[in-house]
Chains A and B, each alone.
Chain A
Amino acid sequence: EIVLTQSPGTLSLSPGERATLSCRASQSVSSSYLAWYQQKPGQAPRLLIYGASSRATGIPDRFSGSGSGTDFTLTISRLEPEDFAVYYCQQYGSSTLFGPGTKVDIK
Protein backbone atom coordinates (compact mmCIF):
# COMPACT_ATOMS: atom_id res chain seq x y z
CA GLU A 1 0.00 0.00 0.00
CA ILE A 2 1.18 3.48 -0.88
CA VAL A 3 2.27 5.78 1.95
CA LEU A 4 2.47 9.55 1.52
CA THR A 5 5.02 11.54 3.51
CA GLN A 6 4.94 15.33 3.72
CA SER A 7 7.81 17.56 4.72
CA PRO A 8 8.48 19.61 6.61
CA GLY A 9 5.91 19.01 9.31
CA THR A 10 5.83 22.73 10.06
CA LEU A 11 7.09 25.59 7.95
CA SER A 12 7.54 28.95 9.68
CA LEU A 13 7.67 31.82 7.23
CA SER A 14 6.82 35.50 6.95
CA PRO A 15 4.24 37.05 4.61
CA GLY A 16 5.79 37.68 1.22
CA GLU A 17 8.16 34.73 1.45
CA ARG A 18 8.12 31.68 -0.79
CA ALA A 19 6.83 28.38 0.59
CA THR A 20 7.92 25.02 -0.79
CA LEU A 21 6.06 21.95 0.48
CA SER A 22 7.04 18.40 -0.36
CA CYS A 23 4.95 15.25 -0.76
CA ARG A 24 6.73 11.95 -1.28
CA ALA A 25 5.05 8.64 -2.14
CA SER A 26 6.42 5.23 -1.18
CA GLN A 27 5.79 4.07 -4.76
CA SER A 28 5.09 5.79 -8.02
CA VAL A 29 1.82 7.72 -8.25
CA SER A 30 0.22 8.76 -11.51
CA SER A 31 0.44 12.53 -11.82
CA SER A 32 -3.17 12.48 -12.93
CA TYR A 33 -4.15 11.49 -9.42
CA LEU A 34 -2.20 13.81 -7.12
CA ALA A 35 -3.94 16.74 -5.43
CA TRP A 36 -3.23 19.39 -2.82
CA TYR A 37 -5.70 20.85 -0.32
CA GLN A 38 -5.61 23.79 2.07
CA GLN A 39 -7.36 23.58 5.43
CA LYS A 40 -7.86 26.40 7.90
CA PRO A 41 -8.96 25.85 11.52
CA GLY A 42 -12.61 24.91 11.81
CA GLN A 43 -13.06 24.69 8.04
CA ALA A 44 -13.33 21.90 5.51
CA PRO A 45 -10.39 21.36 3.17
CA ARG A 46 -10.31 23.33 -0.07
CA LEU A 47 -8.99 21.88 -3.32
CA LEU A 48 -5.99 23.85 -4.61
CA ILE A 49 -4.25 21.62 -7.16
CA TYR A 50 -5.32 18.49 -9.04
CA GLY A 51 -3.50 16.36 -11.56
CA ALA A 52 -0.27 17.41 -9.79
CA SER A 53 -0.14 20.82 -11.50
CA SER A 54 -3.60 22.11 -12.47
CA ARG A 55 -5.09 24.84 -10.31
CA ALA A 56 -8.68 24.36 -9.19
CA THR A 57 -11.30 26.96 -10.01
CA GLY A 58 -10.70 30.29 -8.29
CA ILE A 59 -7.26 29.42 -6.92
CA PRO A 60 -4.75 32.29 -7.22
CA ASP A 61 -1.75 31.78 -9.48
CA ARG A 62 0.67 32.16 -6.58
CA PHE A 63 -0.15 28.50 -5.91
CA SER A 64 1.57 26.02 -8.21
CA GLY A 65 2.12 22.28 -8.19
CA SER A 66 4.78 20.17 -9.82
CA GLY A 67 6.36 16.76 -9.74
CA SER A 68 5.95 13.22 -10.95
CA GLY A 69 6.57 9.64 -9.92
CA THR A 70 7.20 9.72 -6.18
CA ASP A 71 8.08 13.39 -5.58
CA PHE A 72 5.62 16.24 -5.73
CA THR A 73 5.84 19.88 -4.66
CA LEU A 74 3.39 22.63 -3.81
CA THR A 75 4.85 26.11 -4.12
CA ILE A 76 3.30 29.32 -2.84
CA SER A 77 5.28 32.05 -4.56
CA ARG A 78 4.55 34.88 -2.10
CA LEU A 79 2.70 34.10 1.10
CA GLU A 80 -0.38 36.18 1.79
CA PRO A 81 -1.79 36.41 5.35
CA GLU A 82 -4.67 34.10 4.37
CA ASP A 83 -2.27 31.36 3.21
CA PHE A 84 -1.20 30.35 6.71
CA ALA A 85 -2.92 27.00 7.09
CA VAL A 86 -2.36 23.24 6.90
CA TYR A 87 -1.74 21.70 3.49
CA TYR A 88 -2.44 18.09 2.57
CA CYS A 89 -1.42 16.13 -0.46
CA GLN A 90 -3.71 13.37 -1.69
CA GLN A 91 -3.44 10.43 -4.00
CA TYR A 92 -6.85 9.63 -5.46
CA GLY A 93 -8.49 7.18 -7.80
CA SER A 94 -10.24 3.94 -6.96
CA SER A 95 -8.79 4.38 -3.46
CA THR A 96 -7.72 7.57 -1.80
CA LEU A 97 -4.93 8.43 0.59
CA PHE A 98 -3.98 11.69 2.28
CA GLY A 99 -0.58 12.73 3.55
CA PRO A 100 -0.07 13.79 7.18
CA GLY A 101 -0.04 17.49 6.32
CA THR A 102 2.33 20.45 6.50
CA LYS A 103 1.45 23.38 8.70
CA VAL A 104 2.52 26.77 7.38
CA ASP A 105 2.61 29.22 10.24
CA ILE A 106 3.70 32.80 10.72
CA LYS A 107 7.31 33.30 11.73
Chain B
Amino acid sequence: QVTLRESGPALVKPTQTLTLTCTFSGFSLSTSGMCVSWIRQPPGKALEWLARIDWDDDKYYSTSLKTRLTISKDTSKNQVVLTMTNMDPVDTATYYCARNRYYYDSSGYFVVSAFDIWGQGTMVTVSS
Protein backbone atom coordinates (compact mmCIF):
# COMPACT_ATOMS: atom_id res chain seq x y z
CA GLN B 1 0.00 0.00 0.00
CA VAL B 2 1.37 3.39 -1.04
CA THR B 3 1.10 6.18 1.51
CA LEU B 4 2.57 9.67 1.87
CA ARG B 5 2.59 11.88 4.93
CA GLU B 6 3.60 15.53 5.18
CA SER B 7 5.20 17.01 8.27
CA GLY B 8 6.52 20.40 9.25
CA PRO B 9 5.76 23.47 11.34
CA ALA B 10 2.18 24.65 11.61
CA LEU B 11 3.26 28.25 12.09
CA VAL B 12 6.12 30.24 10.60
CA LYS B 13 6.96 33.92 10.79
CA PRO B 14 7.23 36.20 7.77
CA THR B 15 10.69 36.12 6.14
CA GLN B 16 11.49 32.73 7.69
CA THR B 17 12.32 29.61 5.69
CA LEU B 18 9.80 26.78 5.66
CA THR B 19 11.02 23.19 5.62
CA LEU B 20 8.52 20.43 4.89
CA THR B 21 9.14 16.70 4.82
CA CYS B 22 7.19 14.11 2.87
CA THR B 23 7.68 10.60 4.27
CA PHE B 24 6.38 7.85 2.06
CA SER B 25 6.04 4.07 2.00
CA GLY B 26 5.05 1.43 -0.50
CA PHE B 27 7.47 2.58 -3.19
CA SER B 28 11.06 3.72 -3.51
CA LEU B 29 12.41 6.85 -5.13
CA SER B 30 15.39 4.83 -6.26
CA THR B 31 13.08 2.85 -8.56
CA SER B 32 13.18 3.98 -12.17
CA GLY B 33 10.22 6.17 -13.06
CA MET B 34 9.12 7.24 -9.59
CA CYS B 35 8.49 10.92 -8.78
CA VAL B 36 7.22 12.99 -5.86
CA SER B 37 5.69 16.46 -6.12
CA TRP B 38 4.61 19.20 -3.74
CA ILE B 39 1.32 21.04 -4.24
CA ARG B 40 -0.29 23.69 -2.06
CA GLN B 41 -3.79 25.07 -1.56
CA PRO B 42 -4.57 28.36 0.21
CA PRO B 43 -7.78 28.25 2.24
CA GLY B 44 -10.79 28.25 -0.08
CA LYS B 45 -8.63 28.51 -3.19
CA ALA B 46 -7.33 26.31 -5.97
CA LEU B 47 -4.42 23.91 -6.07
CA GLU B 48 -0.97 25.16 -7.05
CA TRP B 49 1.86 22.83 -8.06
CA LEU B 50 5.21 23.77 -6.56
CA ALA B 51 7.94 21.29 -7.43
CA ARG B 52 8.78 17.72 -8.43
CA ILE B 53 11.76 15.44 -7.96
CA ASP B 54 12.35 12.31 -10.01
CA TRP B 55 14.09 9.01 -9.23
CA ASP B 56 17.15 10.16 -11.21
CA ASP B 57 17.32 13.40 -9.17
CA ASP B 58 15.92 15.58 -11.96
CA LYS B 59 14.05 18.51 -10.42
CA TYR B 60 11.29 20.73 -11.74
CA TYR B 61 9.94 23.94 -10.21
CA SER B 62 6.99 26.27 -10.59
CA THR B 63 8.15 29.16 -12.75
CA SER B 64 6.66 31.75 -10.41
CA LEU B 65 8.23 30.32 -7.24
CA LYS B 66 11.43 28.86 -8.61
CA THR B 67 13.74 31.30 -6.87
CA ARG B 68 12.32 30.42 -3.44
CA LEU B 69 12.06 26.63 -3.67
CA THR B 70 14.46 23.75 -3.23
CA ILE B 71 13.40 20.11 -3.44
CA SER B 72 15.61 17.21 -2.41
CA LYS B 73 15.34 13.54 -1.56
CA ASP B 74 16.79 11.10 0.93
CA THR B 75 16.25 7.72 -0.67
CA SER B 76 17.47 5.79 2.37
CA LYS B 77 14.82 7.43 4.55
CA ASN B 78 12.06 7.44 1.91
CA GLN B 79 11.72 11.19 2.29
CA VAL B 80 11.41 14.24 0.08
CA VAL B 81 12.12 17.66 1.54
CA LEU B 82 10.86 21.01 0.27
CA THR B 83 12.28 24.31 1.48
CA MET B 84 10.63 27.63 0.72
CA THR B 85 12.47 30.81 1.62
CA ASN B 86 11.20 34.26 2.57
CA MET B 87 7.75 33.13 3.71
CA ASP B 88 4.88 35.62 3.49
CA PRO B 89 1.29 35.54 4.79
CA VAL B 90 0.11 34.80 1.23
CA ASP B 91 1.97 31.47 1.51
CA THR B 92 -0.53 30.33 4.15
CA ALA B 93 -1.90 27.09 2.75
CA THR B 94 -2.28 23.36 3.09
CA TYR B 95 0.78 21.75 1.59
CA TYR B 96 0.44 18.32 -0.02
CA CYS B 97 2.93 15.86 -1.39
CA ALA B 98 1.86 13.42 -4.07
CA ARG B 99 3.33 10.62 -6.13
CA ASN B 100 3.47 10.31 -9.84
CA ARG B 101 5.57 8.11 -12.09
CA TYR B 102 6.74 7.54 -15.61
CA TYR B 103 5.32 4.72 -17.66
CA TYR B 104 5.41 3.51 -21.28
CA ASP B 105 2.27 4.55 -23.15
CA SER B 106 0.65 2.64 -26.00
CA SER B 107 3.01 4.29 -28.47
CA GLY B 108 6.07 3.26 -26.50
CA TYR B 109 6.86 6.70 -25.16
CA PHE B 110 8.08 7.07 -21.56
CA VAL B 111 5.56 9.57 -20.20
CA VAL B 112 4.81 10.95 -16.76
CA SER B 113 1.54 10.17 -15.01
CA ALA B 114 -0.91 12.29 -13.08
CA PHE B 115 -0.77 12.32 -9.27
CA ASP B 116 -2.23 9.00 -8.27
CA ILE B 117 -1.58 9.03 -4.52
CA TRP B 118 -1.69 12.09 -2.23
CA GLY B 119 -0.78 12.71 1.38
CA GLN B 120 -3.41 14.15 3.72
CA GLY B 121 -1.74 17.57 3.70
CA THR B 122 -0.28 19.81 6.39
CA MET B 123 -1.59 23.29 7.12
CA VAL B 124 1.03 26.05 7.35
CA THR B 125 0.13 29.51 8.62
CA VAL B 126 2.46 32.44 8.07
CA SER B 127 1.98 35.08 10.72
CA SER B 128 4.01 37.19 13.09
Residues of B at the A interface (CB closer than 8 Å) are 37, 39, 46-49, 52, 60, 62-63, 96, 98, 100, 105, 111-116, 118-121
Contacting pair A44 B120 (CB below 8 A): yes
Inter-chain pairs besides A90-B114, A98-B47, A99-B46, 11 sampled, C-beta below 8 Å: A32-B111, A37-B47, A44-B121, A47-B114, A50-B116, A56-B116, A92-B114, A94-B112, A96-B39, A97-B49, A98-B39
The complex places the Cα of A100 from the Cα of B47 at a distance, in Å, of: 8
Contacting pair B116 A95 (CB below 8 A): no
Interface size class of A (residues with CB under 8 A): 20 to 34
Contacting pair B63 A1 (CB below 8 A): yes
Contacts of A57 in B (CB 8 A): 116
Give min CB distance, A105 to chain B, whole Å.
14
Contacts of B121 in A (CB 8 A): 44
Contacts of B39 in A (CB 8 A): 96, 98
The complex places the Cα of A95 from the Cα of B105 at a distance, in Å, of: 19
| 3 pairs of A and B residues whose beta carbons are closest in the complex | A35-B114, A96-B49, A44-B118
Contacting pair A92 B100 (CB below 8 A): yes
User: Closest chain B residue to A4 by CB distance?
Assistant: B46
Give min CB distance, A75 to chain B, whole Å.
18
The complex places the Cα of A51 from the Cα of B109 at a distance, in Å, of: 13
Contacting pair B114 A93 (CB below 8 A): no
Q: A49-104: which residues lie under 8 A (CB-CB) from chain B?
A: 50-51, 56-57, 88, 90, 92-101
Contacting pair A50 B60 (CB below 8 A): no
Contacting pair B52 A96 (CB below 8 A): yes
Any chain B CB within 8 A of the CB of A45? yes
Question: Among the listed A37, A45, A51, A94, which residue makes an inter-chain contact with B60, where contact means beta carbons less than 8 Å apart?
Answer: A94
Contacts of A99 in B (CB 8 A): 46
Contacting pair B114 A50 (CB below 8 A): yes
Contacting pair B114 A88 (CB below 8 A): no
